Structure 1
Amino acid sequence: MACTGFNRRSFAWAVLIAVVLVARANAIDIFLEWHLTLDTTLKPVTRDQPVIVINGLFPGPLINATTNDFVHVNIFNDMDEPLLFTWNGIQQRLNSWQDGVSGTNCPIQPGTNWTYVFQTKDQIGSFFYFPSINFHKAAGGFGSIRVINRNVIAVPFPRPEAEFDLLIGDWFYDSYQNTRALMGTPLVAYHAIPDIILMNGKGPFGNPMSKSYESFNVTQGMTYRLRISNVGNALSFNFRIQNHQMVLVETEGSYTDQIALDSLDVHVGQSYSVLVTANQNAADYYMVASPKLVNTSEFTSLVGIGVLHYSNSVSQVSGPLPDGPDPFDLDFSVDQAKSIRWNLTAGAARPNPQGTFNVSNVTLSQTFILQSSVADLGDEPRYVVNNVSYRTPETPLKLADYYVNGTGVYQLDAFPTHYVNDDAAYGVSVVTGIHKGWIEIVFMNTLDAMDSWHLDGFGFYVVGFGNGDWSTDSRDTYNLYDPVVRSTVQVYPGGWTAVYAFLDNPGMWNLRSQLLKHWYLGQELYVRVYDADPNPAKESPPPENLLRCGIFSSPPAPAPAPASWT
């Protein structure tokens, strides 16, 4: 006899509750209440522009969690536009319903609230959150996420005296609404350059536009951890501290081999942890973030400047800013990127050494070759992937996938993942990712700008970088021994980047450019990783507070029982 829909769902929820109870055994629940408003009085620089604040804060509150904790974020939308939040690098294990992008969630409407519930399952590290639709990220609304180790897992460096979160990013003087509207203008869309670089929402030290500047207080002789994130919209930057070296220890949830650096390139969407020892004379020292591929002699405000202040300092910062690498020297950047390796002997979220999970002997199930470029579609400037520009449907893909198998919203595998369309076109690009298969993704960048790519739900094993076109012979240059694992990877102008990922996380996952105008103008697609087993231990069912929109503005009919349950 076939199980009824009611009994099937009841059994599924019972299994889910049992799974959650086991997962909660070593975790806590963190409850947060956020009120999102558009503040016209809090000005990072002396310009009239609205800033998205959370509980009156810009940047927003720190989310401080431990591996496997459950985070509940009740978001009240007090703005006049719908919004969503995404948790950059938090993998949402088994639960893309909480991912907070247009393909997985209906937006939170003005005057309403909705609670995200996600688990920092099997993760540690430095991440950040931000609003994901309507160009909101250009107005703020971002903040730091720390996921710290469980007590039973050793951290591979001595405990620092303190930790600082440093959110650095480019910023437009104009309102996000005006900048968003100009994205329909080809000249602006392709060539717009931000106006200034902020550190933790504050302008550069010494800049007449700045209302304040960022400063960290340190004690001579002590070591500190800086968690640095590029929360900007367009520009990679090089970060350095006057007269101080940094020791790289972590990037987006992976402990790295510890290397000493005079400066560090951080690309849009990326996060790093570095250790800095206050081992200089008691004084104040510049912290500098200067953009890549920009002549800062022409754009002087595009140099972010803060201060490292020794507690017993009696002198202010002085002298010239510390020199960084030539911003147009991509060889330096590539060489540094290749030197960032996974620490194979360190434990992280689990007691097993990271090197237990490696790619030296994997068998690839799929290869995607994704070429980024620009196109004019009906006089609209658009960014394209393999000549396809993503156009967001009114119905989130995840809802359509769960209730009607995508019918009427998208067609699976309708667009190419390994060749370029002859003609540029709009499309709702959703492609198959083979569950529990290894995928190779090659990002090719025909643009004259740096790009960054991110896949929700997974980590990238960054196996290779190269110039020109990728070919199968390029695999001979891959590092398959200790490639670092991270959630966002840069792609250099005129070059390619290759990554591996293990698709063990069922769901509908956003694969996107992290550059805001690229993403807003179509440079994204979705990877559908499907497991036919309805056991909620493998993928969570829709949350009880599920928002509905598009073709599901009214509650949809229950999904039919899979054949395997009859």
Structure 2
Amino acid sequence: MMTIQVKNVSRLCHAKPIVTVNGMYPGPTLYVQEGDRVLVNVTNHAKYNISIHWHGLRQLHNGWADGPAYITQCPIKTGNSYVYDFNVTEQRGTLWWHAHIFWLRATVHGAIVIMPKQGTPFPFPQPYQETNIILGEWWNNDIEELVKQGNKLGLPPNASNAHTINGKPGPLFPSYEKHTFAMEVEQGKTYLLRIINAAIDDELFFAIAGHNMTVVEIDAVYTKPFSTNAILIGPGQTTNVLVQATKAPNRYFMAARPFMDAPLPIDNKTATAILQYKGVPTTVLPTLPLLPAPNDTAFALSYNAKLRSLNTPQYPANVPQQVDRHLFYTIGLGKNPCPTCLNGTKVTASLNNISFMMPQIGLLQAYYFNITGVFRTDFPDKPPIPFNYTGAPLTANLVTNLGTRVSKIAFNSTVELVLQDTNLLIVESHPFHLHGYNFFVVGTGIGNFDPKKDLAKFNLVDPPERNTVGVPTGGWTAIRFRADNPGVWFMHCHLELHTSWGLKTAFVVEDGKGPDQTVLPPPKDLPPC
């Protein structure tokens, strides 16, 4: 059993405390092996309620351990504890955990490393060593207070003060010279980097000066290896890369900065860390990598197009070939009246014109115990009024309905979901995360999805398998999955700002007929509301 304590600790150089786990930022790494049963005792000493999500773990029949507050559990109140009890089944690789209430995941997060079963090698060259690289953001002020101020005014909170690599922004930020992560390597050795994007609101480019990276895994699923000089990684995603230390012994910068190809202000803050060859003096000035331009759409699209499932007999890509349920969700931003807000309106976000309202009791509890009046199962399979999704005027503002409405899915049915961006108010990319499942990204494109021509281009052989996928700016993404995990499963944009505006929903996957096809009973220590 792992014990973690969530508490407020003082910041370095700043008076206001932050919320951390076991006093660490980022928090401790959870090391497990495929097939393990895991128990994590979480005790909350912070002033905020807390819940922890084990991002990417499927939690088979066991949504009680998934973690999103008011979806699968009520939060752990200050002074209370909850034991997350779950099994790691047929998964191996890099995932992560984070707070799943308010904006607390800004500082409450850490890596999950799942090693293969004993005696099972990686399907790529064995690295000499491995290192976790967690990309994040940093605020000098209490992020929750900034969010509250923004909500009162109907505005987004202030942007982060810095981006970080393993909690440190690097020497490019004034007064942060001592806060730099460094990784020592030996000439001729191969290293595995487990890269996690824990940022709140930014897709990020990542590169290492003078070194190519070989991508071998995404979201804890092995991929066909390919070499690249940079990667793109969205919030919630993980990417494993191999790096060969075969360059001239020197000090090289690792760097991360945001990707933003929407007509919005670009956050151009670059976080740096150092790849240090053994024996090179620390006085040597590192060289910077050539990162893609912040708005380099072409690189983003070409990089994602290279991602393919390994699809071998040992690690097959079981892509659903037939579809039982077709879903089409439009992503929209709108303005609703707000008399107390600065401009008399506040921004809302919606799927199929529905902005999701969080309930006051966990949806899984309401579903399991048949508590009525908590949610409705009439979320529409398609938008109520079709329109030119990416060609409508930016001033268009469709009526947005507020509600706790979810989709009911039959057990073991196959689902195809097309997520369509729109240019209502703004056109922007969106990283969507589905809890409880992996899915196959069978297609993506720019503009409006056209079933007549786009279906023919779907990759149904070796598409990338993920738990979090980006919907491109002004475009669409299609995913497929088999609904073989009963329970209530959250789906939301992993840009925290958009989630807080209502860009989220949930699936109620019905029980099957067999004893291993039903939701497990709730644990006795499940936090009360």
Same-fold call, TM cutoff 0.5: yes
1:425 equivalent among 401, 414, 437: 401
CA separation in 1, counterparts of 2:373 and 2:148?
A: 29
Q: Deviations over 1:39-77 (max 9, x none)?
A: 12x33xx54443221111111110000112111111110
Paired position in structure 2 for 1:132 = 100
Paired position in structure 2 for 1:452 = 431
CA separation in 2, counterparts of 1:224 and 1:508?
A: 39
Paired position in structure 2 for 1:363 = 322
Alpha-carbon distance, 1:209 to partner: 3.8
Name the stretch that deviates more: 173-182 or 456-465. 173-182
CA separation in 1, counterparts of 2:164 and 2:42?
A: 25
CA separation in 1, counterparts of 2:410 and 2:58?
A: 17
Please, which runs of 5 or more residues in structure 2 have no aligned partner?
339-345, 386-397
Q: Is 2:30 the counterpart of 1:38?
A: no
Q: Please show how residues 185-200 of structure 1 align to structure 2 within 5 Å.
A: 188-189=155-156, 192-200=158-166
Paired position in structure 1 for 2:85 = 117
- Contact kept? 1:231, 1:268, Cα under 8 Å: yes
Q: Deviations over 1:135-161 (max 9, x none)?
A: 2113x0100001111024331112211
CA separation in 2, counterparts of 1:129 and 1:154?
A: 25
Q: Is 2:507 the counterpart of 1:521?
A: no
CA separation in 1, counterparts of 2:268 and 2:19?
A: 22
Paired position in structure 2 for 1:394 = 360
Alpha-carbon distance, 1:176 to partner: 1.2
Assess, with a 3 A threshold, how the Cα gap between structure 1 residues 403 and 464 changes in structure 2: closer, same or farther.
same
Alpha-carbon distance, 1:174 to partner: 2.5
Identity within the alignment, %: 27
Paired position in structure 1 for 2:458 = 478
2:139 equivalent among 149, 157, 172: 172
Alpha-carbon distance, 1:438 to partner: 1.2
Q: Given residue 234 of structure 2, which amino acid in structure 1 is its aligned partner? A: H
CA separation in 1, counterparts of 2:31 and 2:228?
A: 27
Q: Given residue 132 of structure 1, which amino acid in structure 2 is its aligned partner? A: H
Alpha-carbon distance, 1:433 to partner: 1.8
Alpha-carbon distance, 1:469 to partner: 1.1
Please, which runs of 5 or more residues in structure 1 have no aligned partner?
1-30, 346-351, 550-566
Q: Given residue 315 of structure 2, which amino acid in structure 1 is its aligned partner? A: Q
Q: Deviations over 1:218-274 (max 9, x none)?
A: 111111100001100111111100101101000112110110111001111110000
Paired position in structure 1 for 2:341 = none
Alpha-carbon distance, 1:449 to partner: 2.8
Task: Provide the TM-score with structure 1 as the length reference.
Answer: 0.85
Q: Please show how residues 61-460 of structure 1 align to structure 2 within 5 Å.
A: 61-101=28-68, 102-138=70-106, 140-184=107-151, 188-189=155-156, 192-210=158-176, 211-293=178-260, 302-314=269-281, 316=283, 318=285, 321-345=288-312, 352-355=313-316, 357-359=318-320, 362-379=321-338, 380-404=346-370, 406-413=371-378, 415-420=379-384, 423-446=399-422, 447-460=426-439
Aligned length: 502
Alpha-carbon distance, 1:533 to partner: 3.5
Alpha-carbon distance, 1:536 to partner: 4.9
Alpha-carbon distance, 1:540 to partner: 1.4
CA separation in 1, counterparts of 2:362 and 2:308?
A: 37
CA separation in 2, counterparts of 1:38 and 1:523?
A: 29
- Contact kept? 1:445, 1:491, Cα under 8 Å: yes
- Contact kept? 2:207, 2:255, Cα under 8 Å: yes
- Contact kept? 1:365, 1:434, Cα under 8 Å: no
SS of 1:354's equivalent in the other structure is coil
Paired position in structure 2 for 1:540 = 520
CA separation in 2, counterparts of 1:412 and 1:247?
A: 44
Q: Pairwise CA RMSD of aligned residues?
A: 2.0
Assess, with a 3 A threshold, how the Cα gap between structure 1 residues 331 and 300 changes in structure 2: closer, same or farther.
closer
Name the stretch that deviates more: 285-294 or 70-79. 285-294
Alpha-carbon distance, 1:317 to partner: 5.1
